[in-house]
Amino acid sequence: MKSCKYFFIVPIIFLIYYPALTQPDIGMFVGLSNNKLVGDGPAWGSFKYTRGFIGALHIDFKMSEDVMLSFQPGVRTGGARIALEDTVLHENRDSLKINLLTFNLPLMVKITSMNKKVYFAGGFSFDFPIRASADNGEEKIDILNEMNKININAQFVLGYRFPIQSTTAYIELRYLQGLVNLSDQRNEDDAYLPRVKSSAMQLLVGWQFPIRKNK
């Protein structure tokens, strides 16, 4: 994981230097996240979708008339439900819930369409686990030690802006796909979180406050 340090050095240096060239737009967004874990399912069950919450700030730096660099620190809840096969009824029943809380540092490029309302964005998010637990309905088991120290996601965004006087509201549809494993545990180790990657579909609403000075 030492090579991952370089993923942080460039964005940090850029974000320190770039404000000297331009004033950013700042804002915040919240939304719902439909999460799933994909990869090596546990030997005794299968992963199902679960809903989570996301909240973050965004800091957008204007690079050209239609291109912005967006830095979006925030937190997200996620995880998955694990369904255990009922050998009597021959169906899957929810038996365990994996709960994850992560601190996220996305860095994306936004490209605005000609009408200035529709925009597209893409980039990467560097996520750090804060809390991880397995809940079987009777007790919560801390599984943070099964998590890798960092998770890297690719993010793809379709958004629409609603100008309101000097500010802007917006709505986004966002897809996340994990690029590295959340955990490197193996099924035969009886781990709660085997080698899996995260994926999510998110619906977000936000508000932007421009602070760039008009020339």
pLDDT for 125 equals 93
Please state, rounded to an integer, the average pLDDT across all residues of the chain.
80
pLDDT for 187 equals 55
In this structure, is residue 203 part of a structural domain?
A: yes
- The share of the chain scoring above pLDDT 90, in percent, equals 37
* Each residue's pLDDT tens digit, 116-169: 899 999 999 999 999 988 887 778 888 888 888 889 999 999 999 998 887 889
Into how many domains does the chain fold? 1
In this structure, is residue 8 part of a structural domain?
A: no
Find all residues with CB under 8 Å of 149, minimum gap 6, and list them.
1, 128, 129
In this structure, is residue 14 part of a structural domain?
A: no
The sign of the torsion formed by the CA atoms of 179, 98, 80, 71 equals negative
pLDDT for 41 equals 60
In this structure, is residue 9 part of a structural domain?
A: no
**Average pLDDT for 176-201:** 77
pTM: 0.77
pLDDT for 158 equals 97
Among 178, 179, 133, which Cα is nearest to 35's? 178
In this structure, is residue 6 part of a structural domain?
A: no
pLDDT exceeds 90 at position 30: yes
- The CATH number covering residue 191 comes to 2.40.160.20
Phi, psi of 11 (to 5 degrees): -60, -40
Chain-centroid distance of CA 114 in Å reads 28
Parallel/antiparallel/unpaired status of strands 167-178 and 151-164: antiparallel
Q: Which residue has the higher pLDDT, 1 or 74?
A: 74
* Each residue's pLDDT tens digit, 61-106: 888 888 999 999 999 998 877 776 655 445 555 577 888 999 999 9
Q: Which residue has the higher pLDDT, 63 or 31?
A: 31
**Average pLDDT for 184-201:** 72
In this structure, is residue 19 part of a structural domain?
A: no
pLDDT for 161 equals 92
Q: Are 32 and 203 in contact (CB under 8 A)?
A: yes
pLDDT for 118 equals 95
Whole-angstrom Cα distance, residue 87 to residue 136? 19
pLDDT exceeds 70 at position 1: no
In this structure, is residue 49 part of a structural domain?
A: yes
Confidence of residue 211 (pLDDT cuts 50, 70, 90): low
Residue 49 structural domain: 25-210
In this structure, is residue 133 part of a structural domain?
A: yes
